Structure 1
Amino acid sequence: MIDYRKKITCTRKYQKKVTTDIDLATESNRGRIVNSPAVRRLQQKTQVFPLEINAAVRSRLTHSLEVQQTARYISRSIINKLKRKNKIKKFNLKSLEDAFVSTTEMASLMHDIGNPPFGHFGELAINNWMKTKGVKCFNKSLNIKKNSFLEPKLRKFKRKLEEDICCFEGNAQGIRIVHSLQGLNLTYTQVASILKYTRAAYEPRPSSDSDFSYLKKKPGFYFSEEDFIKEVCNELAIKDGHRFSLTYIMEAADDISYGIADLEDAVDKGIISLKKLYETIINEASKEEHEGKGIYIKCIAEENYQKAKKAKRLKINTFIINFRTQLVNELVPYATKVFIENHQSIYDGSFNRALLEDKSKYHVALKVLKNVAFQHVFSHEEVELLELKGNSSIRGLLNCYKPLLNLSNKKFNCLVLGVSDGTPLESRLFKRLSNKHISSYEKVIKKMNDQNIKGFEFRILEWYYRARLIIDFISGMTDEYAIKEFQELSAIK
């Protein structure tokens, strides 16, 4: 039974008084998100190409705005189709239409807020460092040697947190930013809309034949936010491993947007000519022709290339604008169709794939564009140089702040209290950390003390949240700030 009154609600974790005005709650979400530092920082984070004077080239913020608009288009299309089928009342969507659209819009605006500097390359750098050096710091801080005795229950718990801390993921970090770091106190509905994957970071990835093989293919949240996510899912009746229905729309909007955008940026920067772009699309599409699915994207490319050739000026712009418009205007109705046809399983959150991840000609079109981007955009010297800089900067920063992770719980607590206790280097490093991140750390340590957690369990948890503090600080940096901070701490000019 589909009943959106159970999914789109006004409830949030902290509220002085209970409200039933869904439009007011939705507008409050919008205000909190648009004014959040995490969204503002997106303007100084790279989408693909290094940030530069050319404002036409996308940053993470401009990309997110485009995804937001595409999500609005899809969600409005879904609402309009349900109206034509007289299903609005049946699904209890009456007076929830605006909230339905706004929630997907804001989810799209937020979908990249957890990405570290330099995107996925930054994720790899953090995870590789934590696996090779972070775990050693963990043992040193706890004074655990190779053959040290640790009772089985605590050993298992420590191992669980090691797995968690070595699995940084932008989507999981987004949940952490919204709840633990910036305390946006969004409605449970709005939080659920950005929970793209449904497994904890410490959980192993399921097998390919699992009912949740796609939904759990990446970490969706950390151990640190696990209790909060359970609250969200309990409030919205989301079963374990299942996803929130509106998340599928945000995901489809992202798939549509970046498939075209990366190529447009490459053309704007002169990395690929119009002729070369057209020819590469045709060649890639031809590889899919044995199924007859590649013809669709070939026809769109051919039609708009011929139009561009006839244009007197701005031939590239003519091709890109027409190509993008036609593709979006056909992909959105298809995403809508898939959503409606699989409405029950999408509402339940058990639909184990993306809306546009099937064997249709539309999926093949996006696949072709992605392949072209990998060949001529992501492999470009300028992009690869940025990735190398990012890897060096993030690994270098983690090495610089490593002394803080080596400290015992007692000595680190002295730094928090403002007492150096014979740790002059660590004291200076601690002062460079963000006060907001330190405050989040202090809050969780106080909670642990209030719960009377003691001994090795306390020390294990304390180090975990200390490592989160360092990762939060570095992953929250913009690209330029990360490079600058690394250069300053390394005495490099």
Structure 2
Amino acid sequence: MNWEDLLSLKRYGDHHKRLRKEQDETRLGFEVDYDRIIFSSAFRSLQDKTQVIPLSKTDFVHTRLTHSLEVSVVGRSLGRAVGKAILEKHPYLSEVHGYRFNDFGAIVAAAALAHDIGNPPFGHSGEKAIGEFFKNGTGQNYKPQLTPKEYQDLIDFEGNANGFKILTESRKGIAGGLRLSYATLGAFTKYPKESLPKKPTRHIADKKFGFFQAEKESFSEVANDLGLIKTSGGEELSFARHPLAFLVEAADDICYTIIDFEDGINLGLIQEEYALEYLINLVRDTINTKKYQSLTTKEDRLSYLRALSINTLISDATRVFLENEESILDGTFDCALLDKSKYTAQINDIIQLSINNIYRSTEVVHKEIAGYKILNTLLGAFSDALIRTNNGTASNYDKLVLELLPEKYTKSGSVYTMLLSVCQFVAGLTDGNAVLLFNKLTGSSLK
């Protein structure tokens, strides 16, 4: 892969290349991507979606929105640091094509801003709940009407693939969705493959999938324009990652490692003294002991260690990327950047403590159980109503239920198209709206 193609400014519907040297510096194309994402309704909905604690009413706990903004800030720093070094190593990118190091930062910032835009309510358990509905719930009744790949899309419902759908899906009068640059779409796609075949490998890009069958053609166009390396033959579709996707992933990894940990401390799930020791181990080489000892409140001590930890990991992730640029460009680099970090042991200690004390806490488990019940009910009601309405067998109840489904999701077409549309609607709900809709369907709101 080469940087000139990877930094493509092309958007869906363009019939020619957009040249960097012809860009308006006051309205740069990559920065337009950021603006379009942040003004989208799908992004706004993240303000009421779970990051760690489902349905938390505590004001200092992160939502998907605050998490995404923080990941974007970290991603911008990573992109700029890498971009500066890349342009020094490959001066033709600047001298001939006009690229600046801020371009790298803008691409990674935009992709990072959108990285959770396709995630369902109730955190990662929301993805699992949608998949379980089709694998073990009443949704499995639709399996005979689906191809193996279509069925796999549903039973392994993936927020990353749903995000790509949101960013690129055409509707009447809106071709190409948000019409983001191909560079940003490439950096967004951490798993550039379809849901089947499932081939367990050590390569990080094979961990999940990044687009549904409905967007297969769209992704192929993006991947081919960017010059991503095809890693499969025949009818299988998979590519090597866009190099900047590694930076988006690193920004996310850094934030959830440090900031989820911070949430656990603020919630009292992790003892302050114990937690601060873990963070100090991470920043032992850079901490200003005198400054730290002058801080008198838990909040200030935690804030200082958090900022120092994030900065430490940004610098180290940048180092790993630059040391492995060649293997990243030829598609052979097979792990996350932080897996090669010199702080891996400290990172793993923090993550394990978060798993034990936060992700498996009673509050989280109870609310994830509720999320399963809520999403199963919504998926069952709307799937049956939409499909029976389209085949002429709808009951009066089905027709009433369909009144609650926004027009853009009432697509007629194949069973797969309709089921995916319902999944997209349910995944787009906020935690609060999912509960509200569940109460309407079950009559709880009338009690």
Q: Same fold (TM over 0.5)?
A: yes
Name the CA distance, whole Å, in 2 between partners of 1:184 and 1:259.
Answer: 30
Q: Taking every aligned residue pair, what percent have the same amino acid on both sides? A: 30
> Are 1:386 and 2:389 an aligned pair?
no
Aligned-pair distance for 1:434? 1.8
Name the CA distance, whole Å, in 2 between partners of 1:384 and 1:306.
Answer: 41
Match of 1:372 among 334, 349, 353: 353
Relative to the length of structure 1, the TM-score reads: 0.79
Segment drifting more, 93-102 vs 254-263:
93-102
Helix, strand or coil at the partner of 2:198 = coil
> Are 1:204 and 2:201 an aligned pair?
no
Amino acid at match of 1:395: N
Q: Quote the RMSD (CA, aligned, Å).
A: 2.7
Residue aligning to 1:214: 204
**Equivalent residues in 2 for 1:266-285, closer than 5 Å:** 266-278=264-276, 281=278
Match of 2:426 among 462, 470, 474: 474
Amino acid at match of 2:419: A
Helix, strand or coil at the partner of 2:11 = coil
Residue aligning to 2:187: 193
Name the CA distance, whole Å, in 1 between partners of 2:263 and 2:442.
Answer: 33
Residue aligning to 1:87: 90
Name the CA distance, whole Å, in 2 between partners of 1:300 and 1:270.
Answer: 28
Gaps of 5+ in 1: 143-156, 283-294, 415-420, 446-461
> Are 1:135 and 2:140 an aligned pair?
yes
Residue aligning to 1:59: 63
Gaps of 5+ in 2: 172-176, 231-238
Query: Cα gap change, 1:244/1:57 in structure 2, threshold over 3 Å: closer, same or farther?
Result: same
**Equivalent residues in 2 for 1:84-483, closer than 5 Å:** 85-89=88-92, 94-132=98-136, 133-139=138-144, 158-180=147-169, 183-208=177-202, 213-240=203-230, 241-278=239-276, 281=278, 296-297=281-282, 299=284, 310-311=293-294, 313-314=296-297, 316-358=298-340, 360-404=341-385, 407=388, 411-412=389-390, 423-438=395-410, 441=411, 445=413, 462-483=414-435
Contact kept in structure 2, 1:266 and 1:272, CA below 8 Å: yes
Name the CA distance, whole Å, in 2 between partners of 1:263 and 1:181.
Answer: 39
Contact kept in structure 2, 1:116 and 1:476, CA below 8 Å: yes
Residue aligning to 1:9: 8
Helix, strand or coil at the partner of 2:112 = helix
Residue aligning to 1:459: none
Amino acid at match of 1:107: A
Contact kept in structure 1, 2:72 and 2:109, CA below 8 Å: yes
Name the CA distance, whole Å, in 2 between partners of 1:339 and 1:221.
Answer: 25
Cα deviations by residue, 1:67-102 (Å, 9 ceiling, x for unpaired): 11111111121233345x553336867424332210
Query: Cα gap change, 1:265/1:185 in structure 2, threshold over 3 Å: closer, same or farther?
Result: same
Aligned-pair distance for 1:166? 1.5
Cα deviations by residue, 1:294-319 (Å, 9 ceiling, x for unpaired): x9538479x789976x45631x1233
Name the CA distance, whole Å, in 2 between partners of 1:203 and 1:25.
Answer: 35
Relative to the length of structure 2, the TM-score reads: 0.87
Amino acid at match of 2:190: K
Aligned-pair distance for 1:29? 1.6
Amino acid at match of 2:337: L
Name the CA distance, whole Å, in 2 between partners of 1:362 and 1:113.
Answer: 29
Segment drifting more, 101-110 vs 331-340:
331-340
Residue aligning to 1:449: none
Helix, strand or coil at the partner of 1:357 = helix
Contact kept in structure 1, 2:43 and 2:65, CA below 8 Å: yes
Query: Cα gap change, 1:466/1:305 in structure 2, threshold over 3 Å: closer, same or farther?
Result: farther
Query: Cα gap change, 1:93/1:263 in structure 2, threshold over 3 Å: closer, same or farther?
Result: farther
Amino acid at match of 2:117: I
Name the CA distance, whole Å, in 1 between partners of 2:295 and 2:74.
Answer: 30
Residue aligning to 1:458: none
Name the CA distance, whole Å, in 1 between partners of 2:219 and 2:329.
Answer: 18
Name the CA distance, whole Å, in 2 between partners of 1:257 and 1:344.
Answer: 26
Amino acid at match of 1:137: Y
Segment drifting more, 243-252 vs 86-95:
86-95
Contact kept in structure 1, 2:161 and 2:210, CA below 8 Å: yes
Name the CA distance, whole Å, in 1 between partners of 2:283 and 2:255.
Answer: 19
Residue aligning to 1:417: none
Name the CA distance, whole Å, in 1 between partners of 2:170 and 2:43.
Answer: 13
Contact kept in structure 2, 1:278 and 1:305, CA below 8 Å: no
